[in-house]
Every structure is written in C-alpha cells, then in structure tokens.
Amino acid sequence: MTTLVLSVHRSMDRVMKLTLARATGRGAAMAVALVALLAAGATTPAAAQEQPRMGGVLKAAMIGEPPSLDLHWTTAVITQQITWHVYETLFTYDKQYNPIPMLAESYTVSDGGRRYTIRLRQGVKFHNGKEMTSADVVPSLRRWGKMATPGKAVFKFVEAVEGPGPYEVVIHLKEPTATLLDGLARPNNAAAIYPKEVIDAAGAGQVKEFIGTGPFRFVEHKPDRHIKVARFKEYAARPEAADGFGGKRVAYVDEILFVPVPDVTVRLSGVETGEYHFAQQIQQDQYDRVKKMRDVGARVVKPAAWSTAVLNHKQGLMTDRRLRQAFQAVLDMEPIMAAGFGHKDFYRLDGGLMYPEQPQWHSRVGTELYDRKDKAKAQKLLKEAGYSGQPVRWVTTQEYRWMYQNALVAKQQLEAAGFKIDLQVVDWATLVQRRNKPELWDVFSTGFTFGPEPALVTAVQCNWPGWWCHEEKERAMAALAREMDPKKRRVLFERVQQLFYEDVGRIKFGDYFSLDVVQKDVRNLPAAPWLAFWNVWLAK
C-alpha cells in the first residue's frame, strides 16, 4: 500500500523573492501559491523503478455527473477534472504554482504592463484535425471573459484582444494587473481554447461539441454510465520535461472512463475489488481502513478546499444582513466539521480565506466572528430582523457526502436558535444548475477549492452564485488586482476578509483535506490539488 500526501509549504522569503522576480523581471502576475511536495510530479516508489507502459483503460469512479462539459460555463470542480484532459489553456502552473506557457510559446510585456504579446505554438492540432491559430484563441478568450467567473474578473482590465497574425495574440489592458497570467493559467472555469466554429455554433449557450487540443479527445457521454476520452494520436506535446501541470504531457493509457458513482461506499469497494482504478471523495473516517488494504493506496490532498454554506445576497431572506449575521453567530464549527470529515487528520478549524500553508496571504483579521457558538446573539439578531419562522431553503447533496453532513449538523444548530431550515437534497448537477437561479434557494452547500491568486478566488467574487457584491469589497478587490507590491496586496486582501465576516459574504465551516483511493497498479498519479491523468500509466 502506498500513501501519497500533498504537503504544501513555502517560506515568506521564498514567496517574496518569487513575487519580485515575476513582477519586475517579467512584468507578470504575482507569484502567490505554495510549494507542493513533489506537487504534480509525485510518484509511487514503484513508478520510479520502471519505464512507463502504454495501453489500458483507466476507470475513474467520480461523485456523479458533471453539470456541463463546457469549461467556460461552470466552476464545478468535476467539470474541470474531466474536461481539462480534453481542453488546454495558453498558460498553466509549474510545481511552485507560477504561471508558465502551455499553448503559448512565449510572451512579452510592453507599454508599462498594458500590452501582452503572446506567441502561439505552431503545429498544435485540435481533435478535429485543424491547426490552432489566433483565429481560435481570440474568440475563446473573449468568450471566457464574458462567461467565466475568473474571466469576468480578469476582463475588467482588458481593453481588447486581437490576433494580428496566425500565431500571435495581443491583449491590451486598460491598466496593469497582477492577475492576467494567473487567470489564463487557472484550471477551474478555465480559459480553454476551443475551435472558432465550436464557439460560433454555441452562441450564448453551452458548446455542443467538446473539441480541444489536449492529450485526450472526447469520445462519448452516456449519462449515468460514463464519459469516455481516448488518446489523441496527433497530440502536440511540449518538449520540456513535466513540471507541475506544465511541460510534456503524455497519454499513456488508451482510454479513460469517468464513471458516475454517487454512493461513496460503492466507490471505495469498487477500487478494493478492482472494478475501478481510482475513486474520489472517500469518507475520511475510512482512512485507517484504507491504509490496511493490500492493493489500494490513499491519495491525500492537504489542503484541498474549505467547506461552505453560500448565502443568497440577491433575493430572499438572506438579503437581510441581520439574518446572515445570526446564521454566522450561532454555528459551532467543530461538530459540523467532525460530522462531515470524521477523521481528525482531515479537517481543521481556521477562519482565514486563504490557507495557513499560504503565509503570504493567510490572516486572522476578522476571524473573531468565526466559530462564535453564540446562540443568544443569534436569537437577538433574529428578533431585530423580525424573523417569524419563514423556511430557509438550503440546497445540498449527498454525492459529496460531507456537504450533506455539514448541512445536517448546521441545520440542528440553526433550528435550536430559532431558524426553520428546509433542507433540500438533490444530485450535484441539479444543485449546480439550481444555484444560478436566485429565486429557488436561500443557501446552498459547496466547497471552495485551492487557488493561488486571491484576486481570482471564487469565494469572494461578486459575479458568482450568492452574488456577494459589497461596494467596499469590490473596490478592495479591484485595487488588489491592480497592485503589484506584495505588502500592499496583503493589506487589501485582509480588508476583504474583514468585510467577509462583517457582512457575512459566505459561511466558512473549516478547511478540509480530501481522500481519494487508487489501485497499486496506477503509476505516477500526483497528490496535487487538481486531478490529472496525463503522464499516468497502468502497470498491467
């Protein structure tokens, strides 16, 4: 049995040196994440002693169906996990979470940081056989800027995107921003490059053909059975050695089957019996059992995300700040997190919006309002708000079992203070669809996954469901995106965090660390924040 653990550490000195190097040496976005222990290069001991093997069908048991296969369309992590094997971006992240070119060959910055000229790699083919050029990249970036949550944040600074030549893209900025390259490298809700004709056919809706440049091509989607991708034989890999999520990507397996398996027990037993090679989101209280399994390894990602209840700031009961404050005041986070994650090694109580492993960003400002356990305060606020027992519609899911368990315990605490909670349990795809319609809910469950750049993290975006659009917060976020000085950026984000708790932007329960399981014959699967099966092979 092999245990893969992502341990993320970086000293403040190292962060500042990287930041200054990138900001002054390249005029690029600030380096703002973690050093991962072997990050996307972590391997099993067996993998280091053998040559990669071509062939085989890798079967991955996922939590359910993705709500979409359009990466521009949704922040749902399962969409990213499946589709970024198919789609690629101009930039990606190295093992230290610095943006590096992927579909881009190189770039230069001019006009005081307001003009980025990106040279595209030549000879990169889409899965339909067409060569990628700026005629595809420009409309892809424009669509991402209009549709995607991080795209909207980045495009506040974009004046124009043009393709003066087939292998050249120029991005004109209204003013310099520290977020551009990080935005183009971000995998979740990513700036994926699609063929122009696919974008044109989609119009204002979702793409209907799933064509990218990645090492795997989309084959079929049979709902409730599988999504199948297969090796793209004409894939144009980068020549450099793999580095984090960048460098050379190889499709060693012939096919990947992403199989929806909503029952967590079935996912675990499926890997144990050999039906699946990989299963995600295993209950953390099964960790000790997993460690004793003969042919199964544990993949632990720490940190993975933080668990949250998202409140509706646009419509309904939670538009009343006093009700949001009452909701926040009463919660006792320890039993909530223990119910969701079970094993004490898989969660921690911490109020910071960024993780302790990100010392350049982690702060306790405002967290005196986190984990208050103040029933009397909550009841006082409910009385002031004139709350009279109207049902609070909370949408959650059992496909992510921890979401349901967190919601269930929080419901008990809230009702003890006087709230009436209508807990609505649906599948994950339905939750993601429903959360876009503010008239249908007051609260929904989710998790905010690891992100290197605070100006782009979903948790504080105005244009994401929940619509926390506080005026002062928006000013601070805009200033954070513009600012290049690390110390000033930290002060700005601390102000955002203070407002997060004062205005109750969302409810943070705590940080969690995810547990996946893999068969021992799976080689080179990294214990990294983002799941990737390129450069992974099957020993038999």
SS3 annotation, 231-277: ECCCCCCCCCCCECCECCCCCCCCEEEEEECCCHHHHHHHHHHCCCC
Quickly state the pLDDT bin for 11 (edges 50, 70, 90): very low
Look at 113 and 11; give whichever has higher pLDDT: 113
Cβ–Cβ < 8 Å for 279, 271: yes
pLDDT at 136: 98
**How many residues are present in the chain?**
540
296-314 burial string, b = 16+ CB within 10 Å, else e? bbbbbbbbbbbbbbbbbbe
Is it the case that residue 3 has pLDDT exceeding 90?
no
Quickly state the pLDDT bin for 267 (edges 50, 70, 90): very high
pLDDT at 50: 83
Alpha-carbon distance of 106 to 379, in angstroms, equals: 58
Is it the case that residue 46 has pLDDT exceeding 80?
no
Is it the case that residue 27 has pLDDT exceeding 90?
no
C-alpha to C-alpha distances, 237 to 240, 308, 318, nearest whole angstrom: 9, 38, 49
| Residues 251-269, mean pLDDT to the nearest whole number | 97
Alpha-carbon distance of 167 to 499, in angstroms, equals: 44
pTM, 2 dp: 0.85
pLDDT at 242: 96
474-492 burial string, b = 16+ CB within 10 Å, else e? bebbbbbbbbbebeebbeb
Is it the case that residue 486 has pLDDT exceeding 70?
yes
Alpha-carbon distance of 279 to 271, in angstroms, equals: 7
Phi, psi of 59 (to 5 degrees): -110, 120
Is it the case that residue 496 has pLDDT exceeding 60?
yes
Look at 528 and 400; give whichever has higher pLDDT: 400
Strands in 355-449 per DSSP E: 391-396, 420-425, 443-449
Helix 321-330, helix 401-417: angle, nearest 10: 100
* List of residues 6+ apart from 375 with CB closer than 8 A: 330, 416, 417
**pLDDT tens per residue across span 390-422:** 999 999 999 999 999 999 999 999 999 999 999
Is it the case that residue 34 has pLDDT exceeding 70?
no
| Residues 271-279, mean pLDDT to the nearest whole number | 97
pLDDT at 537: 98
Asked if the peptide bond before residue 303 counts as cis, ω within 30 degrees of 0, the response is: yes
Share of the chain above pLDDT 90, in %: 88
pLDDT at 49: 65
Is it the case that residue 55 has pLDDT exceeding 80?
yes
Segments making up each domain of the chain, as ranges: 303-514
Is it the case that residue 123 has pLDDT exceeding 90?
yes
* List of residues 6+ apart from 398 with CB closer than 8 A: 262, 404, 425
Give the mean pLDDT of the chain. Answer: 91
| Residues 195-207, mean pLDDT to the nearest whole number | 97
pLDDT at 16: 39
**pLDDT tens per residue across span 66-81:** 999 999 999 999 999 9
In this structure, what token pair is assigned to residue 307? 């668990």
pLDDT at 540: 83
Alpha-carbon distance of 170 to 116, in angstroms, equals: 6
Alpha-carbon distance of 179 to 157, in angstroms, equals: 9
The 3 state secondary structure assigned to 85-125 is CCCCCCEEECCCCCEEECCEEEEEEEHHHCEEEEEECCCCE
Alpha-carbon distance of 97 to 99, in angstroms, equals: 6
How open is the CA angle 418-421-425, to the nearest 5 degrees?
Answer: 165
C-alpha to C-alpha distances, 354 to 397, 403, 445, 455, 480, nearest whole angstrom: 25, 20, 19, 11, 15
Alpha-carbon distance of 489 to 486, in angstroms, equals: 5
CATH 3.30.70.380 given to domain 303-514: no
Quickly state the pLDDT bin for 35 (edges 50, 70, 90): very low
Matching residue, tokens 């280091």? 48
Give the chain's radius of gyration (CA, Å): 23
